[in-house]
């Protein structure tokens, strides 16, 4: 998908006052980002924009008590607002099922379709916004991310120290994560491994990843076939996925590489052109029928790590959600253009 030269929804006007037709997206820096450059921090939150665009937005002025530059080092609690053009925001799920809560942790079962952080398109309909609306500004902060279409477990820190410890655990690979995925095809072996380095960006889609065996980052995922089944005359399988590294879109691109793409995956599925047309609200009915689901069939089912307060092992589970259960049971599903509310 080519970058547009026209003004982006995130290209902000001068920060004096708030002109009609604009809204402000508020960011509060979490403890695990302490010491990051501001442009790197925003790049983590708004992955669709290249760093040069983000630096331009910062230089034109964010709404903040102090002047911020791309090289400004952020600190926990730093709050600023990013001004963007107002536009209709797609509806997103509003439920936030709580799996576990104590003084240190909040573990949520995120529904598919709910983004975690504000983006160019989503401001109010995000997990972070729902948390603040229901529990208050400093109640909890997500320690990691899931794609908008991915459902399942999200771990949040409830104290500054908890956020710091969780950030270190995720960076050091001391968090064990497992996913359930419904893929196309019948893998011939009951267990298989994809060991393929990943690099960011493709010719068509900047936010996608690709397999790059010369310059990519080490990436390895183990897969276990739990069930093979046939639906509408086509073969599918339910897999348990064990990512040994934590790259963006790792499971999705590794299943594509293995020849068993996720059901419903518009970016790494049956046609590389689906994602571009989907993001432009122009995905035709035949493509929706080929995708079979309105979202990609990936669910974060299990997570385990040392508790940030007690240091004792804790683990959490989330059952396979109803839409994927229904798909496996052969129930009628009707994805279509009404589901094309945003890029994956």
Q: How many domains does the chain have?
A: 2
Shared domain check, 123 and 72? no
Shared domain check, 198 and 235? yes
Residue at 10 is within a domain: no
Of 58, 85, 112, the last residue of a domain is 85
Indicate which CATH number applies to the domain containing 34.
3.10.290.10
Long-range pairs of 170-175 with CB within 8 A, sequence gap ≥ 24: 170/32, 170/143, 170/144, 170/246, 173/245, 173/246, 174/305, 174/306, 175/144, 175/303, 175/304, 175/305
CB count, 10 Å around CB of 144? 19
Shared domain check, 215 and 81? no
Q: Catalytic site residue 276?
A: no
Q: Using alpha carbons, list the distances in angstroms from residue 106 to 72, 98, 124, 216, 320.
A: 30, 7, 20, 34, 20
Closest CA to 143 of 264, 303, 331: 303
Shared domain check, 26 and 113? no
Shared domain check, 160 and 301? yes
What letters, b where the CB count within 10 A reaches 16 and e where it falls short, cover 83-94? bbbeeeeeebee
- Chain centre to alpha carbon of residue 317: 19
Shared domain check, 103 and 70? no
The DSSP output letter for 164 is: H
The catalytic position among 39, 147, 265, 339 is: 147
Shared domain check, 220 and 113? yes
149: containing domain: 98-332
The DSSP output letter for 167 is: H
Shared domain check, 171 and 104? yes
Residue at 301 is within a domain: yes
Shared domain check, 112 and 58? no
- The per-residue pLDDT string of the chain (344 residues; one tens digit each, 9 = 90 and over) reads 333 333 344 444 444 454 555 667 788 888 888 899 999 888 887 766 677 888 888 877 677 777 888 999 999 888 888 776 656 677 899 999 999 999 999 999 999 999 998 776 777 789 999 999 899 878 999 999 899 999 999 999 999 999 999 999 998 889 999 999 999 999 999 999 999 999 887 655 566 678 788 888 899 999 999 999 999 899 999 999 999 998 989 999 999 999 999 999 988 887 766 665 566 566 677 767 777 888 999 999 999 999 999 999 999 999 999 999 999 999 866 555 444 444 44
Shared domain check, 151 and 50? no
Indicate which CATH number applies to the domain containing 185.
3.30.2350.10
Residue at 215 is within a domain: yes
Angle at the Cα of 233 (from 228 to 237), degrees rounded to 5?
20
Of 39, 63, 85, the last residue of a domain is 85
Shared domain check, 197 and 55? no
Of 85, 114, 129, the last residue of a domain is 85
Residue at 72 is within a domain: yes
Shared domain check, 80 and 200? no
């Amino acid at each position: 998908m080519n970058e547009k030269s026209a003004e982006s929804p995130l290209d902000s006007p001068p920060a004096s006052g708030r002109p009609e037709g604009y809204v402000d997206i508020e960011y509060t820096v979490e403890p695990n980002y302490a010491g990051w450059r501001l442009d790197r921090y925003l790049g983590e939150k708004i992955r669709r924009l290249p760093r040069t665009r983000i630096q331009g937005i910062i230089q034109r002025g964010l709404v903040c008590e102090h002047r911020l530059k791309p090289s400004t080092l952020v600190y926990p609690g730093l709050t600023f607002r990013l001004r963007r053009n107002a536009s209709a925001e797609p509806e997103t799920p509003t439920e936030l099922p709580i799996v576990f809560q104590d003084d240190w942790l909040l573990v949520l079962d995120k529904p598919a379709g709910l983004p975690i952080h504000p983006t160019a398109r989503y401001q109010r309909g995000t997990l972070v916004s729902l948390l603040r609306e229901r529990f208050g500004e400093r109640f909890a902060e997500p320690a990691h991310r899931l794609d908008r279409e991915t459902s399942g477990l999200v771990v949040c820190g409830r104290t500054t120290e908890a956020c710091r410890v969780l950030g270190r655990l995720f960076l050091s690979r001391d968090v064990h994560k497992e996913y359930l995925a419904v893929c196309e095809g019948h893998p011939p072996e009951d267990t298989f491994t994809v060991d393929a380095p990943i690099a960011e960006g493709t010719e068509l889609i900047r936010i996608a990843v690709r397999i790059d065996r010369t310059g990519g980052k080490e990436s390895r995922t183990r897969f276990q076939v739990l069930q093979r089944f046939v639906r509408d005359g086509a073969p599918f399988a339910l897999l348990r996925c064990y990512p040994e590294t934590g790259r963006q879109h790792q499971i999705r691109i590794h299943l594509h590489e293995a020849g068993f793409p996720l059901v419903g995956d518009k970016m790494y599925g049956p046609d590389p052109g689906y994602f571009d047309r989907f993001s432009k609200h122009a995905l035709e009915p035949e493509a929706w029928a080929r995708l079979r689901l309105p979202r990609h069939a990936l669910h974060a089912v299990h997570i385990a790590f040392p508790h940030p307060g007690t240091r004792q092992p804790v683990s959490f589970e989330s059952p396979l959600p109803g839409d994927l259960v229904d798909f496996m049971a052969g129930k009628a599903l009707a994805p279509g253009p009404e589901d094309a509310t945003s890029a994956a």
